[in-house]
Amino acid sequence: MQLTAPKFDETEIEQLRACLGSGWVTQGPMTQKFEALIAERHAVKHALATTSCTAALHLATMALGLKAGDEVIVPAFTWVTSAHCAEYVGAKAVFADIDLATYNLDPAAFAAAITPRTRAVVAVHLFGLAAPMNEIRAHASRHGIAIIEDAACAIGTSYDSKAVGGLGDIGCFSFHPRKVVTTGEGGAVTTNSDSIAAIVGSVRNHGAGGQRVIEDEGIGPWTMATYDRIGYNLRLSDIQAAVGVAQMAKLDTLLTERRGLAASYRKRLSGISGIVLPAEDAGHSYQSFVIRIPDGGRRRRNAVMAAFAERRIQTRPGTHAVPALGYYRDKYGLDPNHFPNAMAAEDTTITLPLFPGMTMADIEVVVDTLSRALATA
């Protein structure tokens, strides 16, 4: 049984056919349509499609003007690029521990990590559950700290009935195949700031700006763009965006199905002792259904995962405790044990299968396998 899978049908084929038939397959009208759908769904003024969420996070730190000497606070339990985006621009990733109940940034740990050099915080909405944005915004506002929402897992996620992606200064989304909506690879930056959107739009397109008008030439077919800043080619193609347009049309259906499957898991797992279920929240999009086995540490967790593998059921750990990874541990001399909740999460979490078309029989097999494995591990 696979861990997850995208849901494609004839609608993606239809959009791809329309894209290919138009002859415009790089960033163009289909990308603009995809961006408009993202912006509308997440109630933001601007959405700018990118090659990945990693690219979106990099663009976010560039748009904020972060540089050497600046610090960016990052949850200690997250995918590694949540931290890499600070390092890309010469800033320093500073880690703060998580709330073990939600796997998201602990507001108290965030507050304790703030220094005079703190310029931004990456608020990760991990596994599709929104971070505690009210507390994060209160601390950030008090200290003049920009908020980057790492919404890689959170297309369709809401917080206090408001869509994520517009709750901070910049939102960053992923459309990797493990996400609720996928374009194969892809991402997006969301913001309500005209100035941030202008910088992101330029930097993702080689640093292009307005028209470069040379004296006495006027404007004509010879007119090219200005390039007043460094940039990259981080544009999403119209081919990928065509898939995204079809996927966005399915978003509500996909979310309803995922939440229903999560509820079925919760009902069947509630009677099994020795596991911790994901936090319940109406806005949770359940990009992943992550449980925790608190007793027995990494060895017992691994034994349970091995039992799943024997039955050809895919599982994964939740994600990384980033301070334990070589680059950050060695560069900053970090002791991972200073982030006990992040370490516990890395050592004891399991992502269970959850995908479109999953049946109740599939869930029963997963639950039975877990129950048996816990009894013997």
Strand-pair partners of 350: 291
Whether the predicted pLDDT of 220 surpasses 80: no
In the chain, list all ranges with CATH 3.40.640.10: 10-249
Buried/exposed 147-173: b ≥16 CB within 10 Å, e otherwise: bbbbbbbbbbbbbeeebbbbbbbbbbb
Q: What is the pLDDT of residue 203?
A: 97
Separation of alpha carbons 53 and 135, rounded Å: 25
Helical H segments across the chain, by residue range: 10-22, 29-41, 53-63, 81-88, 107-113, 133-143, 194-203, 238-249, 251-269, 297-310, 326-332, 340-348, 360-376
- Mean pLDDT, residues 291-307 taken together: 97
- Mean pLDDT, residues 205-215 taken together: 82
pLDDT per residue over 63-79, tens digit each?
Answer: 999 999 999 999 999 99
Q: What percent of the chain has pLDDT over 70?
A: 100
- Mean pLDDT, residues 159-178 taken together: 98
Q: How far is CA 295 from the centre of its chain?
A: 29
Between helix 340-348 and helix 297-310 the angle, nearest 10°, is 30
pLDDT per residue over 14-56, tens digit each?
Answer: 999 999 999 999 889 999 999 999 999 999 999 999 999 999 9
Domain 251-376: assigned CATH number: 3.90.1150.10
Q: Which amino acid is at 257?
A: E
Q: What is the pLDDT of residue 30?
A: 97
Separation of alpha carbons 187 and 185, rounded Å: 7
Q: What is the mean pLDDT of the chain?
A: 96
User: pTM for this structure?
Assistant: 0.96
pLDDT per residue over 329-363, tens digit each?
Answer: 999 999 999 999 999 999 999 999 999 999 999 99
Q: What is the pLDDT of residue 210?
A: 76
Q: Is the CATH code 3.40.640.10 the one for domain 10-249?
A: yes
Q: What is the pLDDT of residue 251?
A: 98
Q: What is the pLDDT of residue 215?
A: 75
Strand-pair partners of 352: 289
In the chain, list all ranges with CATH 3.90.1150.10: 251-376
Model confidence band, residue 165 (pLDDT cutoffs 50, 70, 90): very high
- Mean pLDDT, residues 169-192 taken together: 98
pLDDT per residue over 73-103, tens digit each?
Answer: 999 999 999 999 999 999 999 999 999 999 9
Q: What is the pLDDT of residue 48?
A: 98
Model confidence band, residue 216 (pLDDT cutoffs 50, 70, 90): confident
Look up tokens 């347009």; give the residue.
Answer: 245
